[in-house]
């Protein structure tokens, strides 16, 4: 099987690797190994599942059909969407997903969200994260209180309105970094570390023109 056909067809349909993995019942890394060719042999049952997921035929995936018989990319694909709330602001100690704090909703494919996790969008204010994250960008945030050093996150300090920053951990300190070099690093040590509250991890940036 020419594995480039898998990627080509998936791109034609506008599907993610996670979406295909969900349809055929495997983990995303497994599908990635199918597509990259790391897994050398794919049994006939899985080829059948892949052809169904990609709205084509096993013969096409195997490279036995010529290009002129390539299936149309216009075939409809049903994608289940989840309406993720857009928040006006974020502050520690509040029910951030309360109706009074929700300014709207943005649909996101269910396959792109972790099961049993809570998500929200936040509109970025200011240019402290320029050029990675721009003012008025919407960041998709997964609620969690712990994350790896170097992650982008929404945090509050002393209960103030939420900030989007890069989080750096060290021994007995935490730093909030901006991408814009005009903004200094905010470093907290000792007991002041407790004033920093991590609301969630930034997992996507959406920019509208």
For the CA atoms of 106, 107, 108, 109, what is the dihedral angle to 10 degrees? Answer: 180
Whole-angstrom distance, CA of residue 200 vs CA of residue 75: 37
Cβ count within 10 A of residue 138 = 18
Q: Is 165 an active-site residue?
A: yes
Count of residues making up the chain: 209
Cβ count within 10 A of residue 95 = 8
Q: Which of 128, 166, 178, 201 is catalytic?
A: 128
| Cis omega (within 30 of 0) for bond into 131 | yes
Q: Which of 51, 111, 165, 201 is catalytic?
A: 165
Q: Is 128 an active-site residue?
A: yes
Whole-angstrom distance, CA of residue 96 vs CA of residue 141: 12
Is-contact 140 202, C-beta < 8 A?
yes
β-strands 196-206, 138-143 pairing: antiparallel
Specify the long-range contacts of residues 63-72, CB closer than 8 Å, at least 24 apart. 63/1, 63/2, 63/5, 71/9
Give the residue numbers annotated as catalytic, written as ranges: 128, 165
């Amino acid at each position: 099987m020419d594995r480039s056909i898998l990627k080509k067809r998936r791109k034609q349909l506008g599907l993610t690797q996670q979406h295909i993995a969900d349809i055929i019942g495997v983990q995303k890394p497994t599908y990635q190994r199918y597509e990259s060719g790391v897994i050398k042999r794919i049994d006939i049952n899985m080829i059948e599942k892949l052809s169904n997921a990609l709205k084509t035929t096993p013969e096409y995936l195997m490279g036995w059909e010529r290009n002129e018989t390539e299936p149309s990319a216009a075939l409809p694909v049903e994608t289940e969407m989840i309406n993720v709330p857009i928040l006006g602001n974020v502050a520690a100690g509040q029910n951030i997903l309360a109706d009074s704090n929700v300014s709207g909703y943005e649909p996101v494919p269910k396959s792109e969200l972790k099961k049993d996790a809570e998500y929200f969008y936040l509109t970025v204010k200011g240019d402290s994260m320029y050029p990675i994250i721009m003012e008025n960008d919407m960041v998709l945030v997964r609620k969690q209180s712990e994350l790896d050093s170097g992650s982008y996150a929404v945090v509050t300090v002393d209960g103030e309105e939420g900030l989007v920053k890069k989080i750096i951990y060290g021994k007995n300190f935490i730093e909030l970094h901006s991408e814009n070099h005009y903004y200094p690093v905010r470093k907290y040590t000792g007991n002041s570390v407790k004033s920093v509250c991590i609301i969630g991890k930034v997992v996507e940036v959406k920019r509208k023109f």
